[in-house]
A and B are shown apart, each in its own frame.
Chain A
Amino acid sequence: MIIYLDTNIILSHFDKTDHFHLQNKNLLDQNDITYVTGFITIVEFGSVIARLWKNNQIQFSNELNKLIHKLPEHDQIKIITETCFGRLNLSILPASGLEKIIINKKEYLVENSFTLAYELGSYLNLRTLDLIQIASAMKVKHFTNFNVDYFLTNDKNILNNAQIIRKNIKIIPISSIELILILKI
């Protein structure tokens, strides 16, 4: 089974105070599931950590603070982000290629997550970053020859559009609670 992880699932897995923390920890500890995500997830995660950090809304263990407190802030945020992704049994999808688009007779080479997200825009009722996430999930097929079975997210906007997404691109958005019920864990 291949499952694409949305950013909120990874954040919740590491944030002890999140209301879905235990469910997501349980799910991500399953060894028989292949978890994947796109680099856009790292960008979003790092951005949220930076925002919480600047607002003094995130706390770490003393052990971690001792290791990083002398480093510049931008390095501390990168360390937290890279540690979180490094601790998960998770593959991060590499860039799969450039695609040529022509606008007003000029040719442009564009990373294909963006061209795919651009295509999806007219089919799905989603915002830009959601479209890039869905495009990343679709690209899993480039690397594994299989479609992702589920797009795991607790984002209400994506879950509310689950039927449209499923109908148009055959990817099933699912919440942590629903997945736990299906997997009987």
Chain B
Amino acid sequence: MPTIPLRIDDVDLKKIDNLIKKGRYKNRSQAIKKLLLDKLQQETLPFEWQEDSDEESRIKIVNKLISMENFSFSSNSTKSSEDLIGEERERY
């Protein structure tokens, strides 16, 4: 298992030491590892099948489109909006 050096400021270290004093963790190492893993579990990590995406360019285009005077599209499906969403909900 690799070891990584970590810089942490005094205020945060004091918070961790207080949690150790309260008995929540055995030592600093265990506290940091547990807090890190808990946070990591909440993150949505990229999956292998996901293609690269340029989020910054996407946001720029979206902002440009939002500020355009008109924005609409035309669906040439014969179905109404409620039927298209009904299909999404596996009704048909």
Contact = CB atoms under 8 A, between A and B. Distances in A.
Interface of A: 6-9, 11-12, 14-20, 44, 47-48, 51-52, 55, 57-60, 63-64, 67-68, 71-72, 74-75, 78-80, 82-84, 86-87, 127-130, 153-157
Interface in B71-90: 71-77, 80-82, 84-86, 88-90
Given A8-B81, A79-B61, A129 B89 contact: yes
Given A72-B53, A82-B62, A83-B62, A154 B74 contact: no
A59 B77 CA distance: 11
A7 B88 contact: yes
A127 B90 contact: yes
Interface residues of B, number: 29
Contacts of B72: 14-16
Given A44-B88, A75-B54, A127-B90, A83 B71 contact: yes
26 contacts: A6-B85, A8-B85, A11-B85, A12-B80, A12-B81, A12-B82, A16-B73, A17-B75, A18-B75, A18-B80, A19-B80, A48-B85, A51-B84, A52-B75, A58-B76, A58-B77, A59-B75, A59-B76, A60-B73, A64-B71, A86-B63, A127-B89, A154-B80, A155-B82, A157-B86, A157-B89
A16 B63 CA distance: 22
Contacts of A15: 72-75, 81
B82 A67 contact: no
B68 interface: yes
B66 A87 contact: yes
Nearest to B68: A63
B62 A58 contact: no
Decide if the interface of chain A is mainly helix, strand, loop or mixed. helix
A71 B65 CA distance: 15
Contacts of B39: none
B71 A87 contact: yes
Contacts, number: 118
A81 B43 CA distance: 23
Given A19-B80, A58-B76, A59-B73, A79 B85 contact: no
Contacts of B7: none
Contacts of A16: 72-74
Given A78-B53, A156-B82, 8 more contacts: A7-B85, A15-B72, A16-B73, A20-B80, A71-B61, A74-B53, A75-B53, A83-B65
